[in-house]
């Protein structure tokens, strides 16, 4: 399949050739079902042009590109209207700001395609992205194609794929996917990435899953769509396509320092929504092995721990920088992502222990964002009492531990997140309900 547009490819054609080409185009469009691509937009005028251009240059030409201006205060509305005048495949929705979930709903309601994809307005896609995903779906008759992604930062691109193996999932294999889509292996890693934007959905599978999401959800809004949609599938294709380019903006490298209590309220909305989703399948024998309730607990608890900076209020739960036995100790922090930054912020707030060094495998990325992060090998010259591994991903933690043990670190000094399965429900209830109740009663929460 080729993207045909005489203005873009610049070819000079005589009348006969143009007529022949138009006939070919029409035949091609008949064969290609319409794909609607929904682009939510807010405050990204510097990146929007590249995003739209990448969609216009798709080799899959039968696209409906829906630009949803969610009340953007910059020039995004003008950019959307300009492109709509240039290409008839573009629809523009201007609406009052209502957040990402609201924008996606508006786009979906305006869509008419048999298939639906999403692209965030500050990201972009390679020219064959939608052709490749549609081909995967068409060949095997799947309901969803789940791709990988490329993370772009400072002119470098790093590829990521789903944790579950590549392939076509149906029958018993699909049952395996549904048992592991939210939580795969040791605590905590999803089997299928949460994101909606690196997937192509059959509209009939997606529609109700997107429209039913609570507009108040601002943490986990993708997961609230992706996993309910996967549960509706009879066949899923997991591919290694990494042509979706997620732009890791420098300003997004630095995580917002919000109180955990305010984020706990958002996580509460997510937990209640996802718990209701899991409840729909309880008591149905064919879904018993999926154990959705436990998967949801793992997913939400992982987010709670990351965003709280490691406050684990139970003596059996292992690692917690707020455990009194670590007070006054010199800490080396390994990991500068969301969890690492939140952990650093909470330690600074409480002053319980002293962070003497902060390291990360991608230290140079954080330095460029004015964060004082060093390379991992520098721990050989550091003096510390403990090393805190800032990840809730058991696989990633093991990899980091092996690396620092190779540097001569004593395993007795390494602390990681450990959440025994039997404690997870109790921990979630404490995070999301006990703490919020205390806030509502104007109680002062002590550090755990």
Q: Token digits for 195? A: 């994101």
pLDDT value of position 26: 43
Element (H, E) at 228: helix 223-231
Could you tell me which residues come within 8 angstroms of residue 104 by beta carbon, excluding any fewer than 6 positions away? 38, 40, 68, 118, 196, 210, 225
Q: Token digits for 122? A: 């500050």
Backbone angles phi, psi at 361, to 5 degrees: -65, -30
Residue 439 pLDDT level (bands cut at 50, 70, 90): very low
pLDDT value of position 251: 64
Q: What is the DSSP string of 38-56?
A: EEEESS-HHHHHHHHHHHH
Quick: pLDDT tens for 241-272: 999 999 987 665 555 656 667 888 899 999 99
Quick: pLDDT tens for 343-381: 888 888 878 889 999 999 999 989 988 899 999 999 999
pLDDT value of position 342: 87
Taking residue 159's Cβ as centre, other Cβ atoms within 10 Å add up to 10
Residue 22 predicted with pLDDT over 50? no
The Cα 307–Cα 345 span in angstroms is 10
**Average pLDDT, stretch 156-160?**
93
The Cα 85–Cα 106 span in angstroms is 21
Quick: pLDDT tens for 180-193: 999 998 788 999 99
Q: Reduced to 3 states, what is the DSSP secondary structure of residue 161?
A: coil
Complete domains list, the chain, with CATH = 32-253 (3.90.550.10), 260-311+425-440 (no CATH), 324-417 (3.40.50.720)
Which residue is associated with the tokens 């920088």? Answer: 321
Regarding predicted confidence, which is higher, 148 or 1?
A: 148
pLDDT value of position 255: 57
**Average pLDDT, stretch 143-154?**
95
Mean pLDDT across the chain: 87
Angle at 213 (CA atoms; ends 212, 214), nearest 5 degrees = 115
DSSP class of residue 111 equals: -
**Average pLDDT, stretch 23-47?**
80
Q: Reduced to 3 states, what is the DSSP secondary structure of residue 37?
A: strand
pLDDT value of position 159: 97
């Amino acid at each position: 399949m080729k993207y045909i547009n005489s203005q873009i490819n610049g070819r000079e054609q005589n009348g006969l050739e143009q007529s022949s080409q138009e006939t070919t185009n029409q035949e091609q469009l008949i064969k290609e079902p319409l794909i609607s691509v929904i682009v939510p937009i807010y405050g990204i005028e510097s990146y929007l042009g590249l995003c739209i251009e990448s969609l216009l240059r798709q080799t899959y030409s039968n696209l409906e590109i829906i630009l949803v201006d969610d009340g953007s205060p910059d020039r995004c509305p003008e950019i959307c209207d300009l492109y709509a005048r240039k290409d008839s495949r573009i629809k523009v929705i201007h609406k009052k700001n209502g957040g990402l979930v609201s924008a996606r709903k508006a786009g979906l309601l305006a869509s008419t395609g048999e298939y639906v994809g999403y692209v965030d307005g500050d990201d972009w896609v390679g020219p064959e992205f939608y052709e490749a995903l549609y081909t995967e779906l068409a060949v095997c008759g799947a309901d969803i194609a789940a791709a990988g992604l490329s993370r772009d930062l400072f002119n470098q691109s790093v590829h990521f794929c789903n944790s579950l193996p590549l392939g076509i999932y149906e029958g018993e294999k699909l049952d395996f996917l549904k048992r592991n889509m939210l939580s795969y292996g040791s605590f905590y890693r999803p089997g299928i990435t949460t994101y909606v934007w690196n997937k192509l959905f059959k509209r009939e599978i997606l529609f109700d899953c997107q429209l039913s999401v609570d507009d108040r959800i601002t943490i986990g809004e993708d997961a609230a769509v992706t996993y309910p949609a996967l549960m509706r599938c009879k066949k899923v294709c997991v591919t290694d396509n990494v042509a979706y380019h997620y732009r890791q903006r420098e300003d997004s490298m630095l995580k917002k320092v919000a109180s955990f209590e305010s984020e706990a309220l958002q996580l509460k909305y997510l937990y209640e929504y996802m718990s209701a989703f899991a409840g729909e399948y309880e008591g149905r024998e064919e879904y018993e092995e999926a154990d959705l309730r436990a998967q949801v607990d793992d997913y939400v608890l992982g987010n709670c721990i990351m965003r709280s900076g490691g406050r684990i209020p139970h003596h059996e739960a292992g690692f917690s920088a707020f455990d009194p036995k670590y007070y006054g100790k010199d800490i080396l922090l390994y990991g500068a992502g969301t969890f690492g930054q939140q952990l650093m912020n909470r330690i600074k707030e409480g002053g319980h222990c002293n962070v003497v060094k902060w390291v990360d495998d991608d230290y140079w990325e954080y330095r460029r964002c004015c964060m004082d992060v060093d390379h991992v090998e520098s721990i050989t010259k550091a003096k510390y009492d403990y090393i805190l591994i800032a990840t809730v991903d058991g696989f990633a933690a093991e990899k980091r531990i092996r690396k620092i043990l190779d540097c001569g670190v004593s395993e007795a000094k390494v602390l990681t997140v450990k959440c025994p399965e039997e404690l997870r429900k109790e921990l979630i209830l404490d995070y999301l309900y006990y703490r919020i109740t205390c806030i509502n009663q104007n109680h002062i929460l002590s550090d755990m």
